[in-house]
Amino acid sequence: MNRLLPRPVGRVDWVLLVAVLGLLVLSTLLVWSATDHRTALTGGDSTAFVRKHVVNIVIGLVLMVMVWATDHRWVRIVAPLVYVASLGGLVLVLAMGSTINGSKSWIDVGGMSIQPSEFAKLAVVIGMALVLAERTEGRWRSRVGAGDVVAMLLVAAVPACLIILQPDLGTMLVLSATVFGVLAAAGTPRRWLALLLAAGVAVAVAVVAGGFLKEYQIHRFMAFTDPSLDPKGAGYNVQQARIAIGNGGLFGQGLFHGRVTQGGFVPEQHTDFIFTVAGEELGLAGSALLIGLLGVVLWRTLRIAARTEDLFGRVAAAGIACWFGFQAFQNIGMCLGIMPVTGVPLPFISYGGSSMFAGLLAIGLLQNIHARTVAPAAVRRANGAGLLAVR
Amino acid sequence: MSTSSNRTSRLRLIVLQALVFSLFATLGVRLWYLQVDHGSSYQAQAASQSAREVVQQPTRGLIVDDMGRPLVSNRNEWVVSIDKTTLGNLSADDQRTLLARVAKATGETVKAIKKAMATWNGSAYQPVPIAEDVKQQVALQILEQPEDYPGVVAEQQTVRSYPSPYGVNAADVLGYLSPITSDEYDQAKKDHDESLNATSEVGRAGVEKEYDKWLRGMPGYTSVGVDSLGRELGKNKEVPAQPGDTLVTSIDAKVQGTAEQALHDAITTARATYDPVTHKNYVADSGAVVVMQAKTGRVVAMASQPTYDPSEWVGGITQKQLDALYSTKSDNPLLSRATQGQYAPGSTWKPVMTTGAITGGLPTDQHFTCGPGLQIGNRYFKNYESESYGSISFAEALGVSCDTFFYQVGLHFWNKYGSDPANADAKDPLAAAAHSFGFGKPTGIDIPGEASGRVGDRKWRASYYKAMKGYYCTMDEKGTAKTPFLKLFAHEFCLQGNYFRQGDAANFTIGQGDTMVTPIQLARAYSALSNGGTLYQPTIGKAIVSPDGKVLKKIQPKVVRHVAVSKKAIDYVNTALLGTLSPHGSWNGTLAWKFGGFPLDQIHLRGKTGSAEVEGKQSTSWVATYDKNYVVIMVVTQAGTGSGTSGPAVRKIWESLYGVQGDQNTTQTVDPSKAAIPGVTAPKALPTFAKDGSILPPAGESSREGKAKK
């Protein structure tokens, strides 16, 4: 064993780890099937995308291990830096990002594309948890007060506004759900939660009625109910996604044998619509397995949240659960036609470095939190503390 | 931290857990709904959008002549088609670019391409042909650059080609093809006829139509997997097309070529000839020629003028071409004068009348005076055809074609049996002979649209009167006639329109009046004279052979009846008509001047000329000739006398039929080995169909050359 490298200390949540690895394996197969025949994307090399995807996974796993091994106090110190960095990223993307599908969400740096909003979600969760922890630890009152709520909302608001400016509606929805979940898990009084909910709905109504959204944007949004509203754009996606998934039947057409997938009928199939590959080629059995694995991840995340004594850890874990849960629901729901078409990737499955890194960083953090939830005696038995082990 | 807040937190986490669970359960339910409840409908949609079914039109059967020479064949052409679904999936800009690119490559206009796609009535999943007969290099360009041409397909199809052996056109025999109409397709669907689909081509005239069911074959289907750009991923299923069967006809290309040329020459010559009667050149606006086997009724050659080019329909006929075909200026080239042209037979009617007269009791040596005319009632009936000859017999009357003689024949029987003009049932041996020889009814030849002609006898007169009485009587009563002539006519018709008077009998006997015949009817009647009285149903088709050479059906000559005239009468006429072609001292046969030098001692030709009068036009010229093997009939409208216009042309055909050698002014010789059909008589056997698909002359043909046959 190389003693120079930091080692994860304490207990490992094996179920979480295995579930995530399972999702990653599935994701590799699905991305491969979605891209091997799409010569317009790959330029003829059928493994071009899956190789890049595997590289992303490996980097992500490395990041995960790094976070996992970091001492929790360092996490608390580094967290604000992460928050600021992601804010910087969001500003940068507005300034010099490329406009794709009507929104500026990507920065192209040296051949790589970075999507700052993916990191921003993690940053918001950590930021809010940190602010709450800093404010309540060592305080007499343990109830979450108005000031705490306002502080947390402010932390969330800045990135949120930057995201609206892109505009990235999908990430906004996920972020809103996440923020709400964090506040709820943090212990915000129910009355205020209700108020916030009402306020959110009011804002949404005002935006639509006030004509802030263009007609085509509304049509694109509503196309999931009636594909004919946007037949060449979102409506087409919705139609083809449904046909692909429906075509899968019980056991699917088999990997690399899905008619709709292999015919290239579903756009963005390796990114936002990756679930349709599972639906068509693995059928109900495979898709249910995929959803099940995601469910396991969420269950363990919430379990970590419930078990930890550390407020920061609890709130962060709950926030991560909301983020994954709602994003997964949004993405799969969009593929199934029960949610509007928005450009959010499926965590751990979609092709895309930013999403993969952000997700695995979060898992690393979760494992970190979980590790410290063990009795201190077990920790002291760890031998060979790495550089980052400060105790 | 206090435990109460911990508990609250934990409670909230449980709520969150439950929420997550219910969200995921919703996903699961929806998944079930799509994949299990509605799986089959989505599977069907996935299957239909990722496969394209392409109909493969079968190769149509060939039409060959009696020696196996192809008269109608097929060739390959490249067709460019566009898949509508793929085009629809492209953005508007991409669509424009693609259509412009295809238009440039194929030479079509974007407008024409759009129109072709809009008016397509085939399957929605089948690519729409937008350009036919494109150059191979264009097709290959499209095939080799599928990214530049998404949804565009280039493939080979077979289309009709007309090899024209010996320069033949034969359009009125062969017919042409055009796309199936929606009504016809609906009918085919009702009849569960799988050989037709929405884009089939069907025969429209001639043998292409008559034998269409055999010729068309059975279409094949290919199901091809496609991606979202319409590019082919692979064949799913393929049912090969079955080619159509070959039709062997009794037409001989060499004889047909000679006949067409002869008709053309006759018309050209007539148009350059001055008519002293009307003081202008002959119009010679239409004509027909029929060459028939006397012993079987099989048609060896048949031509009509004006005619058309069947290959104009290949690949779709343009509106301009159609307008040209139907314009009054072009005078109905689609009409086959040989079977659909109805003309007064003029003097070619006289032999038939002779058989009727002799069968009806007149002796064969009956003599009448052939004067310049006859006064019948208050009208003087001129002898249009011949000079005056004194008292002559039937034979001479036929030879010089004396009208006055035949007026008296007609009057004889009118006085004897039908002196009551209103009696439609009066015995009339002359009309009976006409009917027995098959006039007034279609011959039943195996091409569609044949006309029935008309025997202008008492019975016809009576039925016509019955049909038109109301019209003319009303006109008479109400005084609505537009001209004074019509007023008089209506009045007279209403009172006595059914009367068959002496004058009518006179006109009838010389083949004028209301009688009309088609050239094919005349040919068949003269065949009956030649073969001793058997009336056949004329046929063009001889056999149907499958693509691998198996004879599926033989079309045998069919006897309609034995003509109800006496053998004595037929024999007499056959002998008498020999005289038409030769000089006789005191009189010359009407054809004699055109057959000088012809080896009549070896080829016993019989003939009859005719020049039928037509109200307001120049006369119709007829020549009917025959020997024991063949009948050759030619008619040219508005061309003066039969022998003058058609005589030389008919002679050319006989020379070709028998291999007559030598200049027309010298004594010619007969060389059967040089005849158009070696050995002169048409082969009974069918062409030989070799296993490799080639078609050879009937077995034993080469051995027949050199044998002298008459």
Specify the residue for token string 């064993």. Answer: A1
On whether any CB of chain A is under 8 Å from the CB of B146, the answer is no
User: In chain B, which among 78-97 make CB contacts under 8 A with chain A?
Assistant: 89, 91
Please list, in sequence order, all residues whose beta carbon lies within 8 angstroms of the beta carbon of residue B418, skipping any fewer than 6 positions away. Answer: B426, B427, B428, B458, B500, B505
Chain A touched by B140 (CB under 8 Å): no
What's the pLDDT at B5?
58
- Comparing C-alpha atoms, which of B23, B45, B36 is closest to residue A338? B23
Q: Which two tokens stand for residue B705?
A: 């050359």
Q: In angstroms, rounded to a whole number, what is the distance separating the alpha carbons of residues A244 and B379?
A: 93
Kindly state the average pLDDT of the residues B307-316: 86
pLDDT at A391 over 50: no
Residue A382 clears pLDDT 60, i.e. is over it: no
Q: Could you tell me how far CA B650 lies from the centroid of its own chain?
A: 22
Residues A219 and A222: their CA atoms lie apart, in Å, by 5
The three-state (H, E, C) secondary structure of B135-171, written as one string: CHHHHHHHHHCCCCCCCEEEEEEEEEECCCHHHCCCH
pLDDT score recorded for residue A287: 94
- A-interface mutation test, from B7, B10, B17, B20, most A Cβ less than 10 A away: B20
A140 pLDDT band, cuts 50/70/90, is low
Residue of A265, A312, A349 to mutate when probing chain B, most B C-beta within 10 A: A265
Residue A204 has pLDDT above 60, yes or no: yes
Q: What is the pLDDT of residue A3?
A: 44
Return the structure tokens found at A91.
Answer: 């500003």
Q: What is the β-pairing status of strands B287-293 and B373-376?
A: unpaired
Q: Does residue B43 sit at the A interface (CB-CB below 8 Å)?
A: yes
pLDDT at B13 over 90: no
Chain A interface, best mutation among B8, B15, B34, by max A CB count within 10 A: B34
* Residue A65 tokens, joined: 């291990």
Residues of A in contact with B227 (CB under 8 A): 37, 262-265
Over residues B37-47, mean pLDDT? 88
Q: Do A187 and B5 touch (CB under 8 A)?
A: yes
What would the mean pLDDT of B202-207 be, rounded to a whole number? 92
Mean pLDDT of B409-428: 90
**Which two structure tokens, joined as six digits, stand for A131?**
């602010």
So what's the pLDDT on residue B1? 42
Question: Distance (Å, rounded) from C-alpha B295 to C-alpha B631?
Answer: 10
Contact A184 B12 (CB under 8 A): yes
Chain B CB within 8 Å of residue A305 CB: yes
Q: Rounded CA gap, B703 and B16, in Å? A: 104
B481 vs B309: CA distance, rounded Å: 44
Q: Token digits for B420?
A: 């009551």
Measured between CA atoms, the residue of chain A closest to residue B43 is: A247
Nearest to B30 among A244, A264, A338 (CB): A338
E strand or H helix at B271, and its extent? helix B253-271
Percent of chain B, pLDDT > 90? Answer: 51
**Min distance B150 CA to chain A CA atoms (Å):** 13
Mean pLDDT for the stretch of residues A168-185: 89
CB pairs under 8 A between A and B: 140
How close is the nearest chain A Cα to the Cα of B96, in Å?
Answer: 16
A298 shares contact with chain B (CB less than 8 Å): yes
* Strand blocks (E) in B209-324: 220-226, 232-239, 246-249, 274-275, 280-281, 287-293, 299-305
pLDDT tens readout for residues B511-537: 998 999 999 999 999 999 999 999 999
Higher pLDDT, B641 or B170: B170
Asked if residue A377 has pLDDT above 60, the reply is no
Confidence of residue A376 (pLDDT cuts 50, 70, 90): very low
pLDDT of res. B710: 36
- How far apart, in whole angstroms, are the C-alpha atoms of residue B128 and residue A295? 50
Residues of A with CB below 8 A from B25's CB? Answer: none
Q: Which residues of A touch B36 (CB under 8 A)?
A: 249-250, 284
Please tell me the predicted confidence (pLDDT) of residue B8. 67
On whether any CB of chain B is under 8 Å from the CB of A339, the answer is no
Per-residue pLDDT band for B301 (boundaries 50, 70, 90) equals very high
* Residue with token string 């068949």: B524
Whole-number pLDDT of residue B162: 94
Q: State percent of chain B over pLDDT 70.
A: 97
Residues 224-243 of B with CB under 8 A from A: 225-229, 233
pLDDT at residue B3, rounded to an integer: 54
Query: To which H or E segment does residue B7 belong?
Result: helix B3-32
User: A20 CB near a chain B CB, below 8 Å?
Assistant: no
Nearest C-alpha of chain B: how many angstroms from A136?
9
Alpha helices in B513-669 (DSSP H): 519-530, 567-576, 642-658
Contact between A70 and A8 (Cβ < 8 Å): no
Residue B7: what pLDDT? Answer: 65
> Which of B14, B35, B229 would you mutate first to test chain A, the one with the most A CBs within 10 A?
B35
Q: Hey, are the CB atoms on A249 and B43 less than 8 Å from each other?
A: yes
pTM summary value: 0.70
Lowest mean pLDDT among A25-29, A308-312, B577-581, B628-632: A308-312
Q: Which DSSP letter does residue B588 get?
A: B
If you measure CA to CA, which chain B residue comes closest to A263? B227
Instruction: Report the distance separating Cα B111 and Cα A112, nearest Å.
Output: 45
Contact between B612 and B256 (Cβ < 8 Å): no
Is residue B122 a contact partner of residue B58, using CB atoms and an 8 Å limit? no
pLDDT at A141: 61
Interchain contact, A263 vs B5, CB within 8 Å: no
Between residues 26 and 65 of chain A, which touch chain B (CB distance below 8 Å)?
A: 37
pLDDT tens digits, B226-261? 877 767 777 778 889 999 999 999 999 999 999 999
Say what the pLDDT of residue B360 is: 92
Residues B492, B496, B497, B502, CA torsion sign: negative
Q: Which residue has the tokens 């055109």?
A: B594
pLDDT band at B637 (very low <50, low <70, confident <90, very high): very high
Encoding tokens for residue A306? 């419930």
- What mean pLDDT is predicted for residues A271-285? 93
- Say which range, B140-144, B291-295, B562-566, has the weakest mean pLDDT: B140-144
CA–CA separation, A365 and A360 (whole Å): 8
pLDDT of residue A378: 43
Of A142, A181, A298, the CB nearest to B1: A142
CA dihedral B489, B493, B499, B501 (to 10 degrees): 0
B68-82 confidence digits (pLDDT tens): 999 999 999 898 989
Cα separation values, B604 from B576, B598, B625, B658, Å: 12, 10, 10, 11
In this complex, do B228 and A263 lie within 8 Å of one another by their Cβ atoms?
Answer: yes
pLDDT in tens, A6-17: 444 457 889 999
Instruction: Choose the closest CB to B16 out of A187, A232, A318.
Output: A318
Query: Is residue A381 predicted with pLDDT exceeding 60?
Result: no
Q: Among B2, B43, B227, select the one facing A247 at the smallest CB separation.
A: B43
Asked if residue A329 lies in contact with residue B24, where contact means CB atoms within 8 angstroms, the answer is yes
Is residue A314 less than 8 Å (CB to CB) from chain B?
yes
> Testing the interface with B: which of A136, A191, A238, A259 to mutate, by most B Cβ within 10 A?
A259
- Share of residues in chain A with pLDDT > 70 (%): 91
What is the per-residue DSSP string for B431-457?
Answer: HHHHHHTTTTS----SSS-----B--S
Contact call for residues B615 and B621 (beta carbons, < 8 A): no
Contact (Cβ atoms closer than 8 angstroms) between residue A69 and residue A6: yes
Tell me the pLDDT band of B353, cut-offs 50, 70 and 90: very high
Q: How far apart are CA B652 and CA B639, in angstroms?
A: 18
Q: In this complex, is the C-beta atom of A269 within 8 Å of any C-beta atom belonging to chain B?
A: no
CB contact under 8 A, A338 and B226: no
User: Cβ of B46 and A244 within 8 Å?
Assistant: yes
Sequence length of chain B is 710
What distance in Å separates the CA atoms of residue B288 and residue B306, rounded to the nearest whole number?
9
Q: How far is B237 from chain A (nearest CA, A)?
A: 16
CB contact under 8 A, A265 and B228: yes
> Quick check: B331 pLDDT over 70?
yes
pLDDT at A148: 82
| Contact state of B35 with A322 under an 8 Å Cβ cutoff | no
**Chain B partners within 8 Å of A282 (Cβ):** none
Q: Indicate the residue of A291, A314, A318 with minimum beta-carbon distance to B28.
A: A291
Residue B590 has pLDDT above 70, yes or no: yes
DSSP letter for each residue of B653-680: HHHHHHTEES-TTS--EE-GGGSSSTTS
Exposure on the CB side of residue B91, measured as CA atoms within 13 A: 3
C-alpha pair distances (Å), A211 with each of A201, A204, A206, A216: 16, 11, 8, 12
Mutate to test the interface with A, among B1, B3, B6, B31 (most CBs of A within 10 A): B31
For residue A88, give how far its alpha carbon lies from the nearest alpha carbon of chain B (Å): 32
Torsion of CA A261, A263, A266, A271, to 10 degrees: 60
